[in-house]
Every structure is written in C-alpha cells, then in structure tokens.
Structure 1
C-alpha cells in the first residue's frame, strides 16, 4: 500500500512517515500544496493524508482539484479545528474521512485501515437492473451502455443502496456507513450526495431507481 502525506509541519510529517513506514506502508511526503497536488496527479497512491493549511495551495483546493479530475484516491483530511462546518465541507468536496489535530497515531492507523477496508470489502460482482449496470469490482457504472463517472463517495453510496435493495435507509444509517460518523440532523451532506447521485443515475431516464421515502430517508428500488 502506497500513501502520500501532504503536510507542511516538519515534525508531524516526519513522525507520520516513520510510523507508517514501520507499519509496512510505502510513504511519500510533500510539504508544499502545489507540489503535493502534482505528486497526487502523476503517481498512483492507495491513500492520501492531506492537511488543510498548506503553502501555495490549501488542502480544500487540492481535494477539489483531484475530485474534479476524477481522481478516486482515498483521502483523509487533517484539520486543526474541531469545527462541524469544516468537516462537512471536506466530506462534501469528496474526502473519505477527517482527523482533528492533535491526534493519536493509533487512531490515524485505525482510520486508514477502515478506509482501505471499504474497498476490499466490496463484492466482486456485476449487477444489472434494467438498463443500469454496476461493476462492483472495477467500480464502474453504466446506463444504456454509457459510462457514468462517479466519485468514490457516490459509488459507495450507490453500492450501499443496492445492497439494501428496496429497503429504506435513514440519513443517520447512511452517514454512519459511508462516512463512519453520526451527523447532526440539520446537516445536509447525505441529501447533497443523494442529489448528485440522482443527477447522474436517474436524470434524463424514464425509470428512476433512487427513491425518497418520506419521514425515513432513501432507498434503491428496481420495481
């Protein structure tokens, strides 16, 4: 497993490199935001540990640029503030998890293992629902034979809904399984991702798969 750390605090970066290398990971470190983005774009990584406050280009901009270019590498954000708005912003931009400084190294390792385990736990299978085809192994989705590009979180969300076919899932159930966190009831991150997923999966097609269940949440319904 290869990890990129984009962190400008020298002591933190050195500590993380040493600890993760001892855990068996191959680790690259970059302190400059712009250079870190280039590394993430030209190299293949299993996971990126991304600080928010960086010189030249901040973590939010790096995250946004990577997701806009369809880079699906798993990303854990490091934030200095335990602020719900910052966390939600990162998750909405496509981060897979976040960690607030200061943190225990053991917690970071646990977060890394959890994020990487999500990928390996997806069944190796192709599922077909009418004109919608999902390759759970290659993470590819198509409708009427046309490829649909999904972000990692959108694909995880679609996979979750499909695995619970015709079962309504609440927003709290979805946020816990996809983001590994319980969101406040006034947080709309689940609704935002559902809206984006619908725009790609259902908009423009007669048959709609993603349904809203009033008073509960959402479900995938092939009927």
Structure 2
C-alpha cells in the first residue's frame, strides 16, 4: 500500500518512514503543504498522513483542498495541535482519524491498518481467499497451515490483491500502489515478483491458481477457477 507522509520535521519524517517501510509500505514524502498537494495530484495514495503545522500551506488548507475533489482517499492527521477545537475542525473537514503528537509508533501503525481496512467489506485483520490467508497485523501469509516465506514486496503485492479481491487490477495500478514514486522500476520487476509469489504459493502444496493473469488487463486474486487467463 502506498502512503504519502506530509511532515516538515525531517528527522521525524525519516523515523516514521523507516518504520513504515520495514512494515512493507511504499512511502512518498512532502515537507510542506504545496509539495503535498502536488504529489497528491500526480500520484495515487491509499492513505495520507498529514501534519497541520506546515510551511507554505497549512495542513487544514491541504485537507480542505483534497476533500473538495476527493472523498475517498484516507487522511490521518498527525499533529501537535491537541486542543479539542483543532481535532473537531480536522475531523469536520474530512479527516478519517486524528493522532496527537507525541505518539507511540505502534498506535500509529495500528490506526493506519484500521483506516486501510475501512472501505472494504472484510473487516478482519486476517483476510482470506479460500485456504490462502493474509494477516495484516503480523504481515504474514499462509496456505492452509504452511507459512509462506515472502519478501516485503511480494507481501505488499499480495496484500493489495487481497484488499481488491475478485477485481482485476492492472499492472499500472499495482505499481502505483506498491512502489515508491521515485523507485527506479525496470520493466519486468512486477512480472518477476508475481511469478515468485505464485511459485511460493504453489510450493506450499496449493493446487488452486489464486492469482490469475488476465491477458491485456492485469491480475486478479480469486477463488474462482474459471475465466480467461494467460
């Protein structure tokens, strides 16, 4: 999943980013409000972590601008503004959650996981497609009782497919949501990771083709074995 972190304190931004990347998230950075709006305009994000005390453009203005055109992207305010009125204003302007600094990193990550699940019908932290399962908290995947030894990138791809189960996802959409925007992605990287992911699922004893390549369209995670695939 791809997140935009809007935080002008570079040291704090680096700490948060390091932790989230270790958990498998793709992270873009913005250090002021104008840069945040620019990155939001040119990229797709699953969630925006937004500070309020920003140079050039205040975080509430950034939020108001985003919400004037987009009611779907998740926004988590992360701010030292602790007054009730600030929290009420942020939530009324369309923030999905509000976390006050200083904060515990584990709570931040838990809130991120919660927000990323909010728009999906499956609310459990453990997602399932037949006997293939993915735990969004422990960041593990398994088939029946066999734990899959996945890289962070393979897990991120599988997680995105799980969250859009039974929907065809284009290669472009997967790349947009799984890799950082500045990543130097060579043309066969996604195919390589998909191939490795499918191989590991098969090696666990799975006889079902859960991840299908739909010719000319992309990839789909489904328990249904019917349908055209490469």
SS at match of 1:21: helix
Alignment of 1:66-81 (within 5 A): 66-81=66-81
Q: In 2, Cα distance between the equivalents of 1:20 and 1:121?
A: 25
Deviation at 1:79, TM superposition (A): 1.6
| Alignment partner, residue 16 of structure 1 | 16
Q: Which runs of 4+ in 1 moved over 4 A?
A: none
The CA distance in 1 between the partners of 2:69 and 2:93, in whole Å, is 13
Give matches, 1:60-139, under 5 Å: 60-121=60-121
Shift in Å, 1:46: 0.2
Shift of 1:87: 0.7
Name the residue aligned to 1:34: 34
The Cα shift of 1:60 comes to 0.1
Cα distance, 1:80 vs structure 2: 0.6
Question: Are 2:53 and 1:50 aligned?
Answer: no
Tell me the SS of whatever aligns to 2:49.
strand
- Alpha-carbon distance in structure 1 between the residues aligned to 2:72 and 2:57: 20
Cα gap change, 1:67 to 1:122, in 2 (>3 Å): farther
Q: CA RMSD in A?
A: 1.8
Distance 1:91 1:2 in 2: 22
The 5-angstrom pairing of residues 70-219 of structure 1 reads: 70-121=70-121
Unaligned runs of 5+ in 2: 124-162, 165-230
- TM-fit CA distance, 1:71: 5.0
Give unpaired runs (5+ residues) of structure 1.
124-136, 139-223
Distance 1:31 1:44 in 2: 18
Q: Distance in 1 between matches of 2:93 and 2:3?
A: 20
- If asked which structure has higher relative contact order (CA below 8 Å, sep 6+), I would say 2
Q: 1:106 to 1:53 in 2, by over 3 A?
A: same
Number of matched residues?
A: 125
- Please give the per-residue CA displacement for 1:42-78, whole angstroms capped at 9, x wherever unaligned: 2100000000000000110000000001252100001
Conservation of the 8 A alpha-carbon contact between 1:4 and 1:47: yes
- Whole-Å Cα distance in 1 between the matches of residues 26 and 86 of structure 2? 29
> What is the CA-CA distance between 1:2 and the residue it aligns to?
0.2
Question: C-alpha deviations, 1:54-109, integer Å up to 9, x for none?
Answer: 00001100000000012521000012132111111011000000110010110100
TM, length-normalised to structure 1: 0.54
Give the TM-score taking structure 2 as reference length. 0.52
Q: CA deviation at 1:121?
A: 2.8
SS in 2 for 1:55: coil
